[in-house]
Structure 1
Amino acid sequence: MGFIKKYEEWLNSSFIDDIDKKELESIKDNKKEIEERFYTDLAFGTGGMRGIRGIGTNRMNKYMIRKATQGLANYMLSVNEKEAKEKGVVIAYDCRIGSVEYSLNAALVLAANGIKSYLFESLRSTPELSFAVRELGTQAGIVVTASHNPVEYNGYKVYWNDGAQIVEPHASGVVEAVKNVKDFGEIKLISEKEAKEKGLLVIVGKELDDKYIETIKKEVINMDIPGKEEFKIVYSPLHGTGRRPVQRILDEVGFKNVYTVKEQEEPDGTFPTVGYANPEDPAVFKLGIKLAEEKGAEIVMANDPDADRIGIAVKDENGKWIYPNGNQVGLLLVEYILANRKNIPTNGKIITTVVSTPMVDVVAKAHNIEVMKTLTGFKFIGEKIRQFETKELDGEYIFGFEESYGYLIGTHARDKDAVVTTMIIAEMAAFYAAKGSSIAKELKKLYEKFGWYKEGIKAITMSGKEGAEKITSIMTKLRENTPTEINGKKVVILRDFDKQIEINKKEKTEKALELPKSNVLQLVLEDNTYITARPSGTEPKIKYYFGVNAASEEEVNKKMEKVMNSFLELLD
């Protein structure tokens, strides 16, 4: 069906509200805009969907939310109708524009299908949603969020009964069920009043909050740290969901000098002070650092809008503010946990991803702990936790992290959790301060002990239909014409996660990759340089990840620049 025909269908449909039809009428003379909104359906991938808000099939709106939820309901009922109806679904949402409306629409579609929803009374973090799935014993969970995407986005993520985002076999089953909802007439919907009267819509809140906080407090490693109450911390929720749980947890574990950035304290989906509320971006720390200078704090912490990611700014030994990246914070946490936690299991595992720093292998090895690698996406780390618990895999979970600022301490959630991580980073910073050290000094010690590693990322935005086609073309060309040499070093290992094969040119061997299929290509050079190409699953971007190592900080910085430039020149 052509995009014009789809546009006209929506414009004339009895299922589209009059106010939304006015939005469609306003673009009637803009063929390019109509094409962008209707050339395809907003992709519902293995973790859900994310996109720009607006009216159209390729936009986030309540109609696409209803379609996705009807597909989820159909799948749940087909798998086990009795469990779907008895256990239900828990739904959370963040501060984004449209989140309240979208989450309620999801609940009312489920209710119309006879599936009970537990809807949070107000905005909650993504990790609390993950926790709530198992705490309530629901069959699935939904969170309405676009995480750290720009202000014009919103999204919808689906969780299964283990509290992790859906993986196989359920992932492809839900995706197919959503695709099979072809017409608005197939979508069931009842009113909020009827859903509540039938007991199919239940509002939840404080009781789950209390249980979540109490569970997190069990992850404290060192409770009694000298000077802890006086240790100064600056924190920002970046206008998102993190404020209440983070302020509460830090206070209850004994941090009494926590200063929250006032201008960023209240939830606001327009993100007025930052626009792009991503803790990976040093720009979001501007107000936090100003407050830290006023109060004499040496650490600033910030969460993304749904409080599943955390970034930090700390002072180095020269008093300059630095911004440790996701890999560096992950390494610091690995070292702190393994060096200080009691009763580390002998079969304990650190879990990270194929695009995270290879330095984690040497740090963990020094503590006789094994590292497992998964595909990018915390759902795969959550899947490993479940497999440990069901004894499908030998091991016990210690800690998991992604280079993209996501960490999980504990197994209360099956997704990255910035609330518990904020608590442990605060503890780690106070612990080192009490010993006359600091996070910056401890990071330098790691490099001096294990060698200098550096990671870099180049993300190129390619929006719309043309962008999607170009990203596909780039990945195809990389597979068909894979470089044999980069920066004067031979490519010795090629890992194609789509074909699930590893080719070792040095040893002249081939082996299967024991990971799910994914559109990812990884090259390893003879000097142990890593280069990975991967289209983003949540943004219209292609990402290139780089990892290098050298004998000194100066050398590793020069090497990173050369490798990135060399590879990008090859692409051109």
Structure 2
Amino acid sequence: MTYKETYKKWLNSQYVDEETKEELRKIQDEKEIEDRFYQELEFGTGGLRGVIGAGSNRLNNYTVGKATQGLADYINKNYSGEKSVSIAYDSRNKSKEFADRAASVLCANGISVNLFESLRPTPVLSFTVKHLKSKAGIVITASHNPKQYNGYKVYNEDAGQVTDKAAKEILDCITALEDFSCVKSMDLEEAKKSKLLNIIGENVDKVYIEKVKDLTIRKELVEKYAKDLKIIYTPIHGSGNIPVRRVLKELGYENVNVVKEQEKPDGNFPTAPYPNPEQPSVFKLALEMAKEVKPDVIFGTDPDCDRIGIVVKDSEGEYKVLTGNQTGVLLTNYIISSLKELKELPKNGVVIKTIVTSEMARKIADDYNIETLDVLTGFKYIGEKIKEFENTKSNTYLFGFEESYGCLAGTFVRDKDAVIGAMLVCEMVLYYKNKGLSLFDALTELYNKYGYYKETLVSLELQGKEGQEKIQKALERLRTSMKKEVGGVKISKAFDYKLSVEKNILEGSSNKIELPKSNVLKFILEDGSWFVVRPSGTEPKMKVYMSVIGKSQVDADDKSDKFNKSVMEIINEACK
């Protein structure tokens, strides 16, 4: 069916309300009509994510309803007896509306729903699925995307995001629905009376908060000195405000200063158009507050509170936002070294990172004889490994992180968790403060010991149907006609995750990659530098990750500038 035919189908459907049809009739730009209808909003391993609005390629009550009907069919097909789904939502526009819509569809299909009374972080939903023994979970969020976006993330009964096999089966159920007439719905008040809809809140929060606090490593240190730590925190208009402050308060951190202008939930993100803690601009107000407070640490969490960004003073006294890699290696080192000192480090411990995350973590873990595992980009794959360890007892999960500001300790959550991250960061800063060191000092010590690793991410925004086609063509060109060197340094290994092949270029040998297939390419050079190219799973972007190792900060900066320039010349040529 062409985009025009789908557009007309929506306009003529008796199941589409008049307000939605009016929104569609007002569109004058043919390109916009095409973009709204050239495809169904794609259901992938992260569920749905898209711009809010009318159309098959937008997030709205109809696309949410259809996705939920597909999920309901999948659950009823695969499970018998009583079945429940837990649902949470964040501060984004229409999040509550979409959560209610999903609940009404599930209840109409005989599946009971545990719906949070108000907004909650994504990791709380992950915890809730397992805690309440649900068969699946849904959280309405678009994480750190701009205000025009929202999303629909689906979790399996093990509390991790659905991975490839389950996502495909759910997609098959969605695709089998001929039109919106197949989507069932039930009045929520009727669902409550029928005991299909259960409103949840503090009864779950309390258990989650206690488990987070139990992850404290140096309990005596925190108990004695937490009150001395000066903290500035911004929830960036999101869902982290209450749980983060509650955990810190209950642990004894009395000096927590919250950025008032960013404290209240607001889906329009008035002070941060791109509410992403990796963007220095979101900390502008916090830095103004810092002039008076003079904090030991500043940190912020994104709208659904699964990512954390940290700001510290560097050696020149200037505030600097740490990268996700820097935060991750600091926490990796702190957790492993602390457990070793306390004689609690398990011999079969493992750290998990993604293929685009800093290799510095591996260097640190190796120093303690701790294994490091690589997984594909996406925390769902880390959650999958935690489940595997639970079944096989082969390893003890210690810590996992992504370069994109997400991390997780503990196993009662199966997704990145900025509530846990905030608690561990405060403990880590407190530990170094008691040793007379700042967090920047601690990072410098690690660089001096393990090498100056520097990572860079470049995102090429390629909107619409044409953009998606350009991304696919560029990856295919790189796959089939990649140069043998970059900036005068030979490529030693090439990883093609779509074909599941790892090639040793210098030796002329190859191995199978034992990871799920994904349209991602990685190239490692003789000097240890590397780059990865992949399409974003949540935004209309092609992402290029680059990494170098230097002998000093100056050397790393110089190498990075030259390497990045050479890599982007190759990428831009492939995009023509």
Distance in 2, matches of 1:164 and 1:344, equals: 25
Matched, 1:300 2:301: no
Alignment of 1:221-236 (within 5 A): 221-225=217-221, 227-236=225-234
Q: Counterparts of 1:11-160 in structure 2 under 5 Å?
A: 11-27=11-27, 29-82=28-81, 86-160=82-156
Q: Does 1:284 align with 2:282?
A: yes
Q: Which residue of 1 aligns with 2:501?
A: 501
Distance across 1 between alignment mates of 2:487 and 2:475: 20
Correspondence list, 1:236-247, <5 A: 236-247=234-245
Distance 2:523 2:368 in 1: 28
Partner deviation per Cα, 1:93-115 (whole Å, 9 max, x = no partner)? 00000101101000110011100
SS at match of 2:271: coil
Indicate the SS of the match to 2:545.
Answer: strand
Aligned residue among 235, 254, 257 for 2:255: 257
Tell me which amino acid in the other structure corresponds to 1:44.
F
SS where residue 470 of structure 1 aligns?
helix
2:269 is aligned to 271
**Cα contact 2:226–2:251 (8 A) shared by 1:** no
Q: CA deviation at 1:323?
A: 1.3
On the 8 A contact 2:229/2:296 being kept in 1, the answer is: no
Q: Say if 1:292 and 1:299, in contact at 8 Å, map to a contact too.
A: no
Q: For residues 46 and 420 of structure 1, what CA distance do their matches in structure 2 show?
A: 24
Q: Spell out the pairing of 1:509-520 with structure 2 (5 A cutoff).
A: 509-520=509-520
Amino acid at match of 1:244: I
1:223 Cα deviation after fit:
2.5
What secondary structure is seen at the aligned counterpart in 1 of 2:532? strand
Quote how far apart the aligned CAs of 1:177 are: 1.5
Q: Secondary structure at the match of 2:227?
A: coil
Give me the whole-angstrom Cα distance separating, in 1, the residues matched to 2:248 and 2:360: 30
* 1:75 to partner: Cα distance: 0.8
Give CA-to-partner distance per residue, 1:340-380, whole Å, 9 cap, x none.
12411100000000000011111001111010000000000
| Distance (whole Å) between structure 2 residues aligned to residue 517 and residue 182 of structure 1 | 29
Shift of 1:168: 4.1
Give how far 1:507 is off. 2.2
Aligned to 2:423: 423
Distance in structure 1 (CA, Å) of the matches to 2:33 and 2:80 = 39
State the secondary structure of the residue aligned to 2:231.
strand
Hey, what's the Cα distance between the residues in 2 that align with 1:568 and 1:244?
42
* Structure 1, unaligned runs of 5 or more: none
Moved more, 182-191 or 489-498: 182-191
Number of corresponding residues: 567
**Identical amino acids, percent of aligned pairs:** 46
Unaligned runs of 5+ in 2: none
The structural deviation recorded for 1:230 is 2.1
- Write the letter of the residue equivalent to 2:280: P
Secondary structure in 1 aligned to 2:78?
helix
Could you say what secondary structure the match of 1:266 adopts? coil
- Cα distance in 2, alignment partners of residues 223 and 234 from structure 1: 22
Cα distance in 2 for partners of 1:456, 1:168 equals: 28
Deviation digits for residues 497-533 of structure 1, max 9, x if unmatched?
0000100012221110000000100001111111100
Contact 1:261–1:288 at 8 Å: present in 2 too? yes
* Code of the aligned partner of 1:334: T
d(CA) in 2 for partners of 1:535, 1:227 = 45
SS at the partner of 1:349?
A: strand
Q: Is the 8 A contact 1:90 1:132 kept in 2?
A: yes
Deviates more, 1:100-109 or 1:166-175: 166-175
Task: Give the secondary structure class of the aligned counterpart of 1:169.
Answer: helix
CA distance in 1, matches of 2:298, 2:166: 39
> What is the CA–CA distance in structure 2 between the aligned matches of 1:387 and 1:398, rounded to whole Å?
14
Q: Deviations over 1:541-571 (max 9, x none)?
A: 0000011102111111111111110111123
Q: Does 1:398 align with 2:398?
A: yes
Q: Distance in 1 between matches of 2:66 and 2:492?
A: 46
Aligned with 1:196 (options 183, 188, 192): 192
Partner of 1:220: 216
What is the CA deviation profile of residues 275-319 of structure 1, one whole-angstrom value per residue up to 9, with x for unaligned ones? 110001011011111112211113110000000000010112331
Q: Is the 8 A contact 1:87 1:137 kept in 2?
A: no
Q: CA deviation at 1:47?
A: 2.0
Contact residue 308 and residue 416 of structure 1 kept, 8 A? yes
- Which stretch shows the higher mean deviation, 106-115 or 317-326? 317-326
* Partner SS state of residue 498, structure 2: coil
In the aligned structure 2, how far is the partner of 1:363 from the partner of 1:293?
35
Letter in structure 2 aligned against 1:139: K
Distance in 2 between residues matched to 1:315 and 1:30, nearest whole Å: 49
Query: How do residues 547-566 of structure 1 correspond to structure 2 at under 5 angstroms?
Result: 547-566=547-566
* 2:478 is aligned with 1:482: no
Q: C-alpha displacement at 1:449, in angstroms?
A: 0.5
Q: Distance in 2 between matches of 1:433 and 1:228?
A: 11
The 3-state SS of whatever aligns with 2:491 is strand
My pick for the range that moved more, 251-260 or 226-235, is: 226-235
The aligned counterpart of 1:322 is 320
Q: For 1:352-431, list aligned pairs within 5 A.
A: 352-391=353-392, 394-431=394-431
| Paired residue secondary structure (1:514) | coil
* 8 Å contact kept, 1:90–1:129: yes
CA distance in structure 1 between the partners assigned to 2:322 and 2:507 by the alignment: 36
Q: State whether residues 307 and 418 of structure 2, in contact with CA within 8 Å, keep that contact through their aligned partners in structure 1.
A: yes
Letter in 2 for 1:367: Y
Q: Deviations along 1:392-426, whole A, 9 cap, x unmatched?
A: x6211000000000000111100000001101101
The Cα offsets for residues 133-192 of structure 1, whole Å up to 9 and x where unpaired, read as: 010000000000000011100000000011000124322211221222221111111111
Aligned equivalents of 2:29, 2:164: Cα separation in 1:
41
The amino acid that maps onto 1:160 is N
The one-letter code of the counterpart of 1:368 is: N
Aligned to 1:454: 454
Q: Which residue is 1:437 aligned to?
A: 437
Map of 2:172 onto structure 1? 176
Q: Does structure 2 retain, via aligned residues, the 8 Å contact 1:46–1:175? A: no
CA drift at 1:475:
0.7
Contact 1:532 1:545 (8 Å CA) reproduced: yes
Q: How far apart, CA to CA, are the structure 2 residues paired with 1:416 and 1:568?
A: 30
* Conserved? CA contact 1:42–1:49, under 8 Å: yes
CA distance in 1, matches of 2:171, 2:3: 22
Alignment of 1:518-533 (within 5 A): 518-533=518-533
Contact map agreement 2:471 2:542 (CA 8 A) in 1? yes
Q: Is the 8 A contact 1:492 1:504 kept in 2?
A: yes
Structure 2 distance, partners of 1:314, 1:551, is 23
Runs of 4+ in 1 over 4 A off after TM superposition: none
Could you tell me which amino acid in structure 2 is paired with residue 264 of structure 1? Q
Letter in structure 1 aligned against 2:360: M
Amino acid corresponding to residue 453 of structure 1 in structure 2: Y
**CA deviation vs aligned residue, 1:448-481 (integer Å, no higher than 9, x gap):** 0111111011111111111111111111111111
Give the CA deviation at 1:79. Answer: 1.1
In 2: Cα distance, 1:345 partner to 1:126 partner: 29
